[in-house]
Structure 1
Amino acid sequence: MGRITRIAFFLIWLIPFQGKAQGVIQWASKLDFQYNQFGDVEYSGNEALGEPNAKPYGSINPRAFRMLKEASFGTLVVTFANPQAINHLIVIESHLPGRITEIALIDTKEKKNVIHKANSNAVNEPYRALLIPVPTTNYLVRKIEININSISAPGWTQIDAVGICQADVKAIAKELSRFGDFDLDVEVTFFSEKKNLGKNINTNFVETKPIISPDGKTLYFHRQNYPDNVKGEKDDQDIYISKLEASNWSKAVNAGSPFNDKYPNGIGSVTPDGNTAILLNAYDEKGNISPGVSYSKRLRNGWSAPKKLEIKNFSNDSDYQDFYLANNGRVLISAIHRKDSYGDQDLYVSFAVGQNQWSEPINMGPILNTSRPEFSPFLAADNKTLYFASEGHKGQGGSDIYYAKRLDETWKNWTKPKNLGTAVNSKDWDAYYAISAAGDLAYFVSTQGAMGGSRDIYSISLPSEFKPEPVLLVKGRVLDQKTNLAIEAEIIISSLPEGNEEGVANSAPYSGEFQLVLPQGKNYSLRASAPGYVSVEQNLKLEHIDEYKEIEQTLYLAPIEVGQTVVLNNVYFEQGKSILLTDSYPELDRLATLMKENATMTIELGGHTDNQGIGKSNLELSEQRVQVVKQFLVSKGVESKRVSTKAYGGIRPIAPNTNEEGRAKNRRVDMTIISF
């Protein structure tokens, strides 16, 4: 998955059989060319053939290739006995890794294909297995050329073995376990070149901080000192917006008030529903600013004035600040400088603890943070993959983009940050990385090749190995069940069966449209609520999804008026019995609350079954079940006389009984408002 994975290996002693493929990996069998080897036998290019054998790894060993001098250039070209198509290349760097600067595949026609370029850098590991993914080749690989440069990072770098294969990372790791305890370092390799987004987005002025909507169709970004800014070229920074139209970005326009004013303006993130924007600076009621962050809500005719996010004990000792709100609306990541920072800007996390109330920022720890600035955080839709820029981790230039994976709920335990490589990072300044929910395209800022020597926004296709975990993008509308008109509603996202709140979304006031992102691995409920309406809940099962998906979901709200009927979607019983399951309690608790808030309302509970079985038995079962629901409401303080019951058995289906999906919908309890 494009990260350094620590794998516990059992050491198995083997008799090396040079040149013969073992398992999924084929090891090089013949030396075609070498340059600058230390010796003709020991330390020679021939020692890079066959299976790994330069034990103990991490120390100088005559059974591995090394160059004549600690600071020099070297080349190896090795041949494979059985040319094959591949999707991975493995290089065992048995001592002082990180000095390989270029690797090329050579096919059976001697055509060379460069698949890896990097700067020469010492890495922290004393040895490693460097794994480089490539798109499965449509040619047979016969040779591998490896170029080494230890001049800028002197040391006795050594290569013990070179392998090729067509297999997944798990199978490769399993086979490598036969040779020792390796850090399997999966190289970040992009198979396409970065693309400048063109003149509708980029100018000779600085463009920075791209924020892409989850569906990939709206781009927000900043322009600095641009003539169309509110104060013209004297205006440090304004927010601009562009729309994707027929595969092309529209000409970017100034976002206008209230996003942009006389101050330097910036946008940290936009919620998946597109209805809340996180803005740099803390605004007061008069529009004055101070260090911090604010939010703005979409209205029927524009956006609300920015309102300060209330973060406990917030402070920032840096002149710079960055913020990103996670898609679930419950996690806020900051790039600020505080007393417990490791150096300059550090990455911090705060959690929602109430309505516009946030916990004190917590430093995200030394795995991510260094003595130099870390900034431009972006948390992918999976809520685990974090992209950020750093000047402190070893990279290609002044500022590089990295990513790391969250390992637990402390938000301090991460995989080692991984540099995104030379396809994204240059020797200049690179930062502000963002991706859509689908994870197919990334957007970032670079000075390399920018118009007028400024900074431009680029995009690049992500290889599958480095996409975040797949998510579900839910698009839909909230509508009035009676009139079919749009409703502005709050949508609460909860995990099932625990009932823990996982996030909040809002439907647009003018269209009822909403959009939200759900990570895999859980089942969820969506509950829409609005004043004057009965809340409804829909369940979504996401325990097992293996690719990004988009679905449409319409949520209907029933107005609180006589004659309206609402299906209680999440009321469950033991199969064939009237024993209420605990998963039903949240739904029935909400109904009890609704009854108590509307003291004059009376309802009928209707019990329904499918058409399977004996009609009389179905009628009895449905009567027993609605009686159990009534007893629950009474136990919560609802007067018994306000709740009547009616058993319908299978005579009122709402879906065909010809399949299990339809029959499941027909087995239900609903609520009809009798008087109000």
Structure 2
Amino acid sequence: MRKFGGFIFLFLAFSFSMAAQKVHWAQKVLTVSSEFSDPLIQTRENKAIQILGKPSKYPKFGPSGAAWQTLTADSPDNEYIIVEFDSLMSIRQVAIFENFGAGSITQVDGLDLNKKIYPIKTFNPGYQRANGQVTNIVLPQLTSFQVKYIRITLNSQRIKGYSQIDAVGITNSTKPIEESIQLPINSSAEFFRENMGSHINSDYNEICPVISPDGQTLYFTRWKHPDNIGKFKNQDIWYSTLDENKEWSKAKLFPEPINNEENNAICGISPNGKTLLLNNVYKQDGTMEKGVSFAYLLRTGDWSFPVQAKIKNFKNRSEYSEYTLAPNGKILVFTTEMKNSFGAKDMYVSFASVDGTWTEPQNLGPVVNTGEAESTPFIAPDGVTLYFSSPGHIGYGNNDIFMTRRLDDTWTNWSEPENLGPVINTPQWDGYFSVSAKGDYAYFSSVNEKNNAEDIYRIKIPEKVKPLALVQMTGQIQLKKSLEPTAAQIFIKGPLPSDTLTIEHDPYLGDYSFLWPAKKAFTIEVKKKGFLTLVEKFDYSKEKLFTTVKRNFVLDDLPLNKRFNLPNLIFEQSKSDLLPEGLADLDKIILILQENTTYKVFLEGFTDNQGDWNENLLLSQKRVNNVKDYLVSKGISEERIRTKAWGSSNPVSSNLIEEKRKFNRRVEFTIVNE
């Protein structure tokens, strides 16, 4: 496993400067003479598609897998590429981002919708100003034709070695295209980094910080520290806790078997703090191999031996991988190199299967992945915001930190990555960070200039790059009769199928706890065999900040062989239609029958004393039949349902006034175990 490099983590929101002109970037390769191919590199590095979209390396230039490169370095034949745009318009400017080996272009032509060719500019030898540059063509007036395609012809023998083109842009403006993608250069004094102090930092390298969701425990890795385990003092995990005075304790070495003689690192922590995501697969003999593992907190307070997360068809061509776990524990995002990677390493997603394995990795797509190596993904506690590091998007140095947000439930549709700005990103390699559930601080590693070793720092996060506001709900499940805490299953369900979370609550381990995005309403179901299922809905969408909610749930005994009614299941005068407000209570009965397939139900219908007795008897039968039909429509077999109509017999409330009389218009239930 790699030693994590130095990186500075100072957050500042930014966006590309808004320019007056609209720049259109190449969106499709129509045809190409050749593209780079290497049997040892089976990803899409340096393929023709790397010319599409915005430039990847600007304002830095240099060899990159995120640029188009011809098959051979010095071909005797002319090379060319024709790219298509999502626009059809007259233009004033073409910008070609010659990433490396600039000077090979001989001709640039425009093509209209019918692919008729119009010369735009001829280039003589020696036009280049540098080995990497933006080559601008500014026309004296708008083209007389509407441009749909641009053709670029190269003489690759002009420049010794390979030539690379990163991007092609067109516009109807004369303002230089590169100015539309300039990065901000001013830093904000509002945000500054705070060294975590001597209890955490030492004269050795402290790297890869991961903060627990509650912000109370900081895990990190020490490199070559003399107190590390093993002969070679490789990477070991350390941790520090925040005391009541908001001071961090002196760091302690994480226990075995999580630490061993190999390289160890924590990648993430579950929202309840009881599951660790660990880099590498642990073997019983103390060795490790590529992959990822889980360790679980035991009743004794110790951690289990790490268990491999088995990912279907997972084959990593790279020496390194990094992993991050979504808050629901069912989604892994990680970096790896596979056949369909755009570059050396891409970000992929894998979903938990019912058999305990993980699905075959899916590429997160070209919006976030580039021809370069993406690394250090981190899913924020909101389950929507993803931070990662890459040299393949426009940045300040050789590797910058970016933020993107998930746009739908596929996990392959993302917003355009935003560079987090010059206070965070430096000319060096920047990456690896962790954000607490509160979204107040980011924790990161950076080189301490005094001793040239890496220290742990933190910084308050500006509003724009914070994760979405979260609700933390915590409490106990109690029995109604004794109010004693009890074990139970907790199901949290949101608006989307993937918005689900399951908690096996064990009171021995303390209160239940989970995090949920405040903007999403949710329903909680609490289930325990032999007790009524509890169902409640919650909506904290008006909350803008991290909110903690203390909530206990009380379970009532399942009323076997006891007649009971549902308070909201009442009927209008002389009618048998089910009212919407009563359906939620009926669904509770359905849950009982679904969870206890041997149980049956006896339905009894009633009316008030208004009207003819015989008509009331028929009305009560209609009411009980409508309830039966609803149960059957939800999958309950008719054989499990018996009914009886009583008319106006057996009132439960006075019939003298309507306010009380309405409670007699009801259907009662008896659950029987036969």
In 1: Cα distance, 2:13 partner to 2:650 partner: 58
Q: What CA distance in whole angstroms lies between the structure 1 residues aligned with 2:201 and 2:565?
A: 51
Aligned mates of 2:216, 2:666 — CA distance in 1: 39
- Whether 1:400 and 2:400 are equivalent positions in the alignment is yes
The aligned amino acid for 2:330 is: R
Q: Mind listing any 5+ residue stretches in structure 2 that lack a counterpart?
A: 1-11, 25-57, 61-94, 98-128, 137-174, 607-617, 660-664
The answer to whether the aligner puts 1:329 opposite 2:329 as a matched pair is yes
Deviation at residue 249 of structure 1 after TM alignment = 1.6
Q: Is the 8 A contact 2:561 2:671 kept in 1?
A: yes
Shift in alpha-carbon separation, 1:606–1:227, aligned structure 2, 3 A:
farther
Aligned equivalent of 1:253: 252
Alignment of 1:219-618 (within 5 A): 219-231=218-230, 234-283=233-282, 289-302=288-301, 303-449=303-449, 452-496=451-495, 501-530=499-528, 533-558=531-556, 578-579=578-579, 587-596=588-597, 599=598
Residue 309 of structure 1 aligns to which amino acid in structure 2? A
Bigger relative contact order, structure 1 or 2 (CA pairs below 8 A, ≥6 apart): 2
**Is 2:237–2:266's contact at 8 Å kept on the other side of the alignment?**
no
Change beyond 3 A, Cα 1:455–1:232: farther
Distance 1:443 1:575 in 2: 60
Q: Give the deviation of 1:329 after TM superposition.
A: 2.0
Q: Number of residues paired by the alignment?
A: 495
Whole-Å separation in 2 of the counterparts to 1:668 and 1:242: 57
- 1:617 paired residue number: none
Conserved in 1, the CA contact under 8 Å of 2:238 and 2:251? no
Query: Structure 2: how far apart are the matches of 1:675 and 1:441?
Result: 55
- Structure-1 separation of matches of 2:183 and 2:653: 58
Per-residue deviation at 1:409? 3.5
Deviation string 1:510-553 (CA, Å, 9 cap, x unpaired) is 24422222124432112233566554222112454433322122
Distance change (3 Å), C-alpha of 1:594 and 1:426: same
Distance 2:209 2:492 in 1: 27
**Distance in 2 between residues matched to 1:193 and 1:365, nearest whole Å:** 34
Tell me which residue corresponds to 1:14. Answer: none
Please state how far the C-alpha of 1:495 moved relative to its aligned partner.
2.0
- C-alpha contact 1:272 1:517 (8 A) present in aligned 2: yes
1:446-481 residue CA offsets vs partner (Å, 9 max, x unmatched): 2244x7422222111112232232222222223344
Contact residue 271 and residue 381 of structure 2 kept, 8 A: no
Aligned mates of 2:624, 2:466 — CA distance in 1? 48
TM-aligned CA distance change 1:156 to 1:308, over 3 Å: closer
Distance 1:366 1:545 in 2: 34
Cα displacement (A) at 1:224: 2.4
Give, in angstroms, the shift of residue 2 of structure 1. 4.5
Alignment partners' CA distance in 2, 1:352 and 1:413 = 19
Q: 1:386 to 1:603 in 2, by over 3 A?
A: same
Superposition deviation, residue 347 in structure 1: 0.8
Identity %, equivalent residues? 31
Number of the residue aligned with 1:168:
none
Rg comparison, structure with higher value: 2
TM-score by length of 2: 0.61
**Whole-angstrom CA distance in 1 between matches of 2:335 and 2:15:** 25
1:505 aligned counterpart, secondary structure: strand
Structure-2 change in CA distance of 1:448 and 1:536 (3 Å): same
Note the alpha carbon deviations across 1:215-274, whole angstroms, 9 max, x for none. 222222222233333326523333535335322222222231342233322222111122
Cα distance change on mapping 1:370 and 1:352 into 2, 3 Å: same
Give the direction of change, closer, same or farther, for the CA distance of 1:56–1:6 in structure 2 (3 Å limit): closer
Q: Which amino acid aligns with 1:547?
A: L
- Contact 2:232–2:261, Cα closer than 8 Å, also in 1: no
**1:71-115: CA deviation from partner (whole Å, max 9, x where unpaired):** xxxxxxxxxxxxxxxxxxxxxxxxxx979xxxxxxxxxxxxxxxx
The 10-residue stretch of structure 1 (463-472 or 506-515) with the greater mean CA deviation from structure 2 = 506-515
Change (3 A) 1:261 1:490: farther
Residues 398 and 632 (structure 1 numbering): CA distance in 2 closer, same or farther, change over 3 Å?
same
Aligned to 1:138: none
Indicate the SS of the match to 1:354. coil
Q: CA separation in 2, counterparts of 1:626 and 1:229?
A: 72
Q: Distance in 2 between matches of 1:330 and 1:337?
A: 22
Unaligned 5+ segments in structure 1 are 8-51, 59-96, 100-121, 125-149, 158-178, 609-619, 652-656, 658-666
Kept in 2: contact 1:259–1:265 (CA 8 A) = yes
Inter-CA distance 287–253: structure 2 relative to 1 (3 Å threshold) = same
Cα shift at 1:156: 11
Aligned residues of 2:605 and 2:644 also touching (Cα < 8 A) = no
Contact 1:312 1:358 in 2 (8 A): yes
CA RMSD after TM alignment: 4.9
> How far did 1:642 drift?
11
Q: Which residue of 2 aligns with 1:37?
A: none
Q: Quick check: which one's strand share is greater? A: 1
Whole-angstrom distance in 2 between the partners of 1:644 and 1:456 = 77
1:290 is paired with a residue of what secondary structure? strand
Distance 1:123 1:547 in 2: 45
Name 2:613's counterpart in structure 1: none
Partner SS state of residue 249, structure 1: coil
Equivalent residue number for residue 210 of structure 2: 211
Conserved? CA contact 2:13–2:462, under 8 Å: no
Change (3 A) 1:550 1:234: same
SS in 2 for 1:421: coil
The one-letter code sitting in structure 1 at the alignment partner of 2:416 is: K
Q: 2:199, 2:667 → 1: CA distance?
A: 55
Moved more, 482-491 or 632-641: 632-641
SS in 1 for 2:201: coil
Question: Counterpart of 1:192 in structure 2: which amino acid?
Answer: F
Asked if structure 1 preserves the Cα contact closer than 8 Å seen for 2:527 and 2:533, the reply is yes
- Using the alignment, how far apart are the partners of 1:186 and 1:669 within structure 2? 68
